[in-house]
A and B are shown apart, each in its own frame.
Chain A
Amino acid sequence: MLRMSGIVKSYGPTRVLEDVDLAVEAGEVMALMGENGAGKSTLVKILAGIEPADGGTISIDGATVSIRSPGHAQAAGIGYVAQELSIVESLSVAENVFLGDETLGFFRSAASLARRAKPYLARVGLDHIDPLSLAEEHSVAERQLVEIARLLSRKARIAILDEPTAALSETEIVRVKAAVRTLAAEGCAIIYVTHRMPEVFDLTQKVTVLRNGKSFPAVETAGLSIGDLIEAMLGRQLGQMFPPRAAHAGEEILRLDACRASGLKAPVSLSLRRGEILALAGQVGSGAGAVLRMLAGVTPIQSGSVTLEGSAYAPSGIAGSIARKVLYCSDDRKRDGIFAVRSVPENLSAPALSAVSRFGLLSPALEGEHVTRIARQFGLGERFLGRLAGNLSGGNQQKVALGKWIGLDPKILLVEEPTRGVDVGARSEIYNNLRNLADEGLSIIFASSDTQEVLGLADRIASFFHGELVRICNADDVTAESLTRDVTRASEAA
């Protein structure tokens, strides 16, 4: 149905896409995979009319089309759900379904829009929500589904979904997947950009892999293994993704005794040793993140006690935890992980300004030294140092978000979703960085809903479900199945 061939695109001197071919048939879900920077986003933006291609042809149903603007793409029946949502929070759900749709006539009423939106909402599993309610009253997953409803309403024949599940928890992903299947069942050709392996095997029929701006011929998903796929994306083997575990852990550095905080339904007791990586496994809202936020001083410790290196620890606010060298990296790096409009060096030195100053004045020499050291440690190349943090890829942003804390010589690093929205290559680098830091004596606690990551990176695993600690085990005693069972206990009981 859709055929893109010989697509070429350069930004200035850098060639982003070279001779890329891609084809999707009606009713088919095709995964588009590749590391960040491989050109996936550029390719789908060309198809959506957001970026012009420098060369190559796009044909739909055998007829060559020229797509020069988002309007052209829409007219050609191409719908695009971007990585960043295009839902206006202050408008109603119904208006968001028809946002940008000028075919409904000049006059419109809230009630008629709601009536027209209902069937589309029902098809993506949102029949229970009031189309007149404001979009901001709904969860990220529901807003994502509203976008898919918008595609349906526009009768899109080709749908591009750019990482629709990056910010969602496993249970929410199920809803998005169902909506994608609805879309495909209606004869839509779907290009599904994702980093999540389970979705690829669960949802898609074909995979096209991009590597360094070149495309590989599409392959049937059914005949693939995860290892093959990663090898195609990276050109290397899966085994290298995770570093080996710590040989031995040091003495106990942190102890939680029957602690409660907002987001926890039962008291939590934990301990952490020097040089150890502890995973808090659980889905969004499981309480795994709540423990980190409590330790970081974001939410108060309601009851129980925390001991850090033998003395009581009860931070009042983030500044309190930083003073004790317990540093927290949240899962929302766009909001509080990086200063998007500042350069990478400024980001890296921001928490340690007093350390890079002399007599209260910034010392460029000290700052440069500080920044170079962190950049080297985190594999941030020289060429990134001149750029604004917001313009980096997700993986490099995450390195900046983590790296800025390292300059403070932390004792404990708290990381929430360490690799959300990060491509496979940068992931493995981040895992290695974290492990190296742990080997040097840093203790790390991370919360994650990614099973692979929990199993691969952690020394010990504490699983959470619905605000309660389920169990703590050594990572060697845990399998993917047992972990999944722990973090989804209710679905099993039901």
Chain B
Amino acid sequence: MTSETKSNLARLGLMIAVYLILAARIPSYYSQPGIAALLDSAVLAGIIAIGVGLTMIAGEMDLSVGSMAAFAGILSIQLFPYGMVPALVIVVLFCGLLGALQGYCIYKLNISSMVFTIGTLIALRGLTLVVSNEKTVLIPFENIAETDFLSAKFFVFSIPSATLLVLVLLVDFFSRRTLWGREIFAIGGGRGEARAAGVSIRRPIIVAFSISAALAGLAGALLSFRTGSASPLGFEAVLLEAVTACLIGGIALAGGRGSILGVLIGLFTIRFLVSGIAALGAPFWMQSLATGALLIFVIIAEAAIGYVTRRRRMARALTA
């Protein structure tokens, strides 16, 4: 068993433990509608976390996803008259293109993506306000029923939550089993080393940021369709939850380590905890407190395990 598998299993164990502890107190945790609601609550942050996680694996970080989602929300509602599917496709492609441009700039200017995406985070928010005339946009009342199928449940899945799971599998496959995906891991694990080995730096950065932006766009559009409206000021808090999911899911801030499946595990660990605390009727601040405590617990545990492994490896090297 590789150390990566072990670490993912430990995280899975933590997620199941959080679920079981709360399920013992909350009956809805094992009812069909309850599980469906849990899945649905994870869609927004989940789809966005996949993209953010990919940029983190590349040793970068896309902070602009919240504004990108808001921009996509406004755009998708405005394009709604052309049909939902065309609107969705156009929005996702356009966001992907913006992301590719963003990645190209980060590569070309050779600046920290944190700095660059703080810029686009603010600028895109402004653009969104311009495009929306600073107003919340709505799907016309007579058409609102057309989006009902997005809330329909098949067993425990809705279309958005099924989309999340399919995307996780697809991007996980992409990151582990394709040349482009492995390049993202390579430049995140050692930028200079990868360059010296002949790995292109430009392509993986563009690909990671493009996927991140496209997924943020998809999440923004899906959620806006489901609610039938989009606010230019929406999706502000989602970045933090997405990054937390990545960190709890084992994606290293330094890059090169972690997996998209891990992100899903991290995401549901948070969702189980937060929804459970809400269902228990605890005040809102308890949710933040618990999420923060969970993240710190995971990070300390990682550090402790890392320390022990390094010591063992060193001891082995000395005796060898």
Question: Is B3's CB under 8 angstroms from A134's CB?
Answer: yes
Question: Is A107's CB under 8 angstroms from B186's CB?
Answer: no
Who on chain B is nearest to A80 by CB?
Answer: B196
B-contacting residues, A292-336, CB 8 Å: none
Who on chain A is nearest to B191 by CB?
Answer: A88
Cross-chain contact of B313 among A104, A105, A137 (Cβ < 8 A): A137
A392–B86 alpha-carbon span in the complex (Å): 58
Question: Is A86's CB under 8 angstroms from B193's CB?
Answer: yes
B234 within 8 A of A: no
Task: Given A100-B199, A137-B313, answer yes or no on A88-B177 (Cβ-Cβ < 8 Å).
Answer: no
A70 within 8 A of B: yes
Residues of B within 8 A of A96 (CB): 197
CB distance from A354 to the nearest CB of B (A): 34
Question: Is B178's CB under 8 angstroms from A99's CB?
Answer: no
Cross-chain contact of B196 among A84, A109, A133, A134 (Cβ < 8 A): A84
Question: Is A91's CB under 8 angstroms from B178's CB?
Answer: no
- From A90, A96, A134, A285, residue with most partner B Cβ within 10 Å: A90
Who on chain B is nearest to A71 by CB?
Answer: B198
Task: Given A106-B179, A107-B177, answer yes or no on A88-B3 (Cβ-Cβ < 8 Å).
Answer: no
Residues of B within 8 A of A104 (CB): 179
Cross-chain contact of B256 among A80, A88, A150, A263 (Cβ < 8 A): A88
Residues of B within 8 A of A150 (CB): 197
Per-position 1/0 for A74-103, Cβ under 8 A of B: 100000101011111111000110011110
Residues of B within 8 A of A234 (CB): none
CB distance from B94 to the nearest CB of A (A): 25
Residues of A within 8 A of B256 (CB): 88-91
Q: How large is the interface on A (under 10, 10 to 19, 20 to 34, 35 or more residues)?
A: 20 to 34
Residues of A within 8 A of B145 (CB): none
- From A91, A96, A104, A132, residue with most partner B Cβ within 10 Å: A91
Question: Is A90's CB under 8 angstroms from B189's CB?
Answer: yes
A111–B195 alpha-carbon span in the complex (Å): 24
B33 within 8 A of A: no
Question: Is A86's CB under 8 angstroms from B189's CB?
Answer: no
Question: Is B179's CB under 8 angstroms from A99's CB?
Answer: no
Residues of B within 8 A of A82 (CB): 196
Per-position 1/0 for B265-284, Cβ under 8 A of A: 00000000000000000000
B-contacting residues, A150-184, CB 8 Å: 150
A81–B229 alpha-carbon span in the complex (Å): 57
Cross-chain contact of A105 among B179, B193, B197 (Cβ < 8 A): B179
B-contacting residues, A35-61, CB 8 Å: none
A90–B256 alpha-carbon span in the complex (Å): 6
B157 within 8 A of A: no
Question: Is B313's CB under 8 angstroms from A86's CB?
Answer: no
Residues of A within 8 A of B186 (CB): 88, 91, 95, 99
A89–B256 alpha-carbon span in the complex (Å): 9
A-contacting residues, B172-193, CB 8 Å: 176-180, 182, 185-186, 188-190, 192-193
Question: Is B313's CB under 8 angstroms from A89's CB?
Answer: no
Question: Is A88's CB under 8 angstroms from B179's CB?
Answer: no
Task: Given A90-B185, A106-B178, answer yes or no on A99-B192 (Cβ-Cβ < 8 Å).
Answer: no
Per-position 1/0 for B1-39, Cβ under 8 A of A: 011000000000000000000000000000000000000
Task: Given A86-B193, A87-B193, answer yes or no on A74-B3 (Cβ-Cβ < 8 Å).
Answer: no
Task: Given A90-B190, A107-B178, A108-B179, answer yes or no on A99-B199 (Cβ-Cβ < 8 Å).
Answer: yes
A237 within 8 A of B: no
CB distance from B197 to the nearest CB of A (A): 4
A86–B193 alpha-carbon span in the complex (Å): 4
CB distance from B170 to the nearest CB of A (A): 13
Residues of B within 8 A of A87 (CB): 190, 193
Who on chain B is nearest to A134 by CB?
Answer: B3
Residues of A within 8 A of B3 (CB): 134
Residues of B within 8 A of A132 (CB): 2
Task: Given A88-B189, A134-B3, answer yes or no on A263-B194 (Cβ-Cβ < 8 Å).
Answer: no
Residues of B within 8 A of A91 (CB): 182, 185-186, 189, 256
A134–B320 alpha-carbon span in the complex (Å): 18
B257 within 8 A of A: yes
A150–B320 alpha-carbon span in the complex (Å): 25
B109 within 8 A of A: no
Task: Given A108-B179, A109-B177, answer yes or no on A70-B198 (Cβ-Cβ < 8 Å).
Answer: yes
Residues of A within 8 A of B320 (CB): 139
Task: Given A88-B193, A100-B194, answer yes or no on A263-B318 (Cβ-Cβ < 8 Å).
Answer: yes
Cross-chain contact of B197 among A89, A99, A109, A133 (Cβ < 8 A): A99
A408–B183 alpha-carbon span in the complex (Å): 47
Residues of B within 8 A of A71 (CB): 198
CB distance from A286 to the nearest CB of B (A): 11
CB distance from B7 to the nearest CB of A (A): 12
Residues of B within 8 A of A80 (CB): 196
A84–B192 alpha-carbon span in the complex (Å): 9
Residues of B within 8 A of A88 (CB): 185-186, 189-190, 193-194, 197, 256
Question: Is B317's CB under 8 angstroms from A74's CB?
Answer: no
Residues of A within 8 A of B192 (CB): 84, 86
CB distance from B216 to the nearest CB of A (A): 25
Residues of A within 8 A of B193 (CB): 84-89
Who on chain B is nearest to A92 by CB?
Answer: B2
Question: Is B197's CB under 8 angstroms from A100's CB?
Answer: yes
8 contacts between A and B (CB under 8 A): A88-B189, A95-B182, A106-B178, A107-B177, A107-B179, A108-B178, A133-B2, A139-B320
Closest 4 A-B residue pairs measured CB to CB?
A100-B198, A86-B196, A90-B189, A90-B256
Known: A88-B185, A99-B194. 17 other contacts (CB 8 A): A70-B198, A74-B198, A84-B193, A86-B190, A86-B194, A88-B197, A90-B256, A91-B256, A95-B182, A95-B186, A96-B197, A99-B197, A99-B198, A99-B199, A100-B197, A100-B199, A107-B177
